[in-house]
Amino acid sequence: MPPSPRPLRKLGFLTIGLFDEADPRRGHESTLDLITLGERLGFDSAWLRHRHLQFGISSPVAVLAAATQRTSRIQLGTAVTPLGWENPLRLAEDLATVDLLSGGRLNPGFSVGPPVHYEHVRGALYPDTGDHEDFSPARAERFLALVRGEDASDFAGTEGIEVYSRKVQPHSPGLADRLWYGAGSLRSARWAGGQGLNLLTSSVVKPEPGDDAPDFAAIQAEQIRAFRAHHPEGEHARVSQGLVVVPTDSATPEQRTRYRAYALSRTPRTLTPQGPNRLLFAPDLVGSSAELAERLHAHAGFREVDEVAFALPFDFEPEDYTQILTDLATHLGPALGWTPPAG
């Protein structure tokens, strides 16, 4: 008998923040409007994806800095920052700064690995050190040490009127406890657990070698259990799920038709592992909140979590996102056991 699903404790959403190349400000402002709407609806968290050299948010940390000044309660996260594009010391400085501006609401998610299309961007990103950059978990361990307050320099003291610290400044107490790792394989889930991080799961997993008939939900559940088995907090370690979930309770007939067509167009990639890394994608879930709650309660991965950051489809219109967020907060969330925060 599978375990009973955990009542949903934290409801969040994730957006890519698309924009028109001819009018990028409008797209960024629209993302900020979504975050403020999320806070009004009672969402616990809002998350931004990274998109480099594309028409989605390339600097979530900067956008979230703006969001800190427009919100007061909602948690703000990145899902996820690929460390291959970042200098760990500079990223640690930026994140601590934004966390302090937010009053301790930042939840940075990150991952490791080479930048996408590295062979094409290496000359611009690392023109002198491209062959020597380390994109392994060691890069993440450098980043973790800096956020946690370990020494970044072997010099501290005063030179003239300049005062220097050994540690990254500013330091934001508690930020290290709100770091999340985006894992899609058993190996990365175990590593994240061993590091004492929180775990972000998504709509993509990597089946183990030899798995010729992979089942997304079963793979995700196994990874979550492996993460907790290696985490110091065991069953209490935090895990958030990030499937694409689109409730249609208040949608117009035209929206419902379009949403279902969108999900259907993406179904072929969910049938077998894709690409050289054999990545397996979860089906997008579209339907009434009653239907979605039933499907999620039967999902082996969802049954292991009590936090979600449901992903918004990439290229819908602002009015679509407003309808989806409203239905998530007023229909699906409560159907999953979630209660909006008081006040």
Give per-residue pLDDT as tens, 188-211. 999 999 999 999 999 999 999 988
Q: State mean pLDDT over 308-325.
A: 96
Beta strand segments in 129-260, E = 157-159, 162-164, 180-182, 198-200, 204-205, 239-241, 245-247
pTM of the full structure: 0.96
Beta strand segments in the chain, E = 10-15, 45-48, 75-82, 106-111, 157-159, 162-164, 180-182, 198-200, 204-205, 239-241, 245-247, 280-281, 285-287, 307-311
* Cross-strand pairs, 285: 245
User: Quick one: pLDDT band at residue 3, thresholds 50, 70, 90?
Assistant: low
Cα separation, 163 vs 157, in Å, equals 6
Cα–Cα–Cα angle for 12, 85, 147, rounded to 5 degrees:
65
pLDDT in tens, 251-302: 999 999 999 999 999 999 999 999 998 999 999 999 999 999 999 999 999 9
Closest-CA residue to 8 (of 293, 208, 226): 293
Our measurement of the distance from residue 297's CA atom to the centroid of its chain's CA atoms, rounded to an integer in Å, reads: 22
User: Quick one: pLDDT band at residue 305, thresholds 50, 70, 90?
Assistant: very high
Q: Could you give all domains of the chain from N- to C-terminal order, each with its CATH number?
A: 10-254+277-335 (3.20.20.30)
Q: Are 24 and 324 in contact (CB under 8 A)?
A: no
Q: Are 297 and 332 in contact (CB under 8 A)?
A: no
Sequence letter at residue 94: D
pLDDT in tens, 69-117: 999 999 999 999 999 999 999 999 999 999 999 999 999 999 999 999 9
Spatial CB neighbours of 48, under 8 Å, sequence gap ≥ 6? 14, 15, 16, 17, 31, 57, 60, 63, 64, 77, 78, 79
pLDDT of residue 2: 52
Cα separation, 205 vs 182, in Å, equals 11
Sequence letter at residue 47: W
How are beta strands 162-164 and 157-159 bridged, if at all? antiparallel
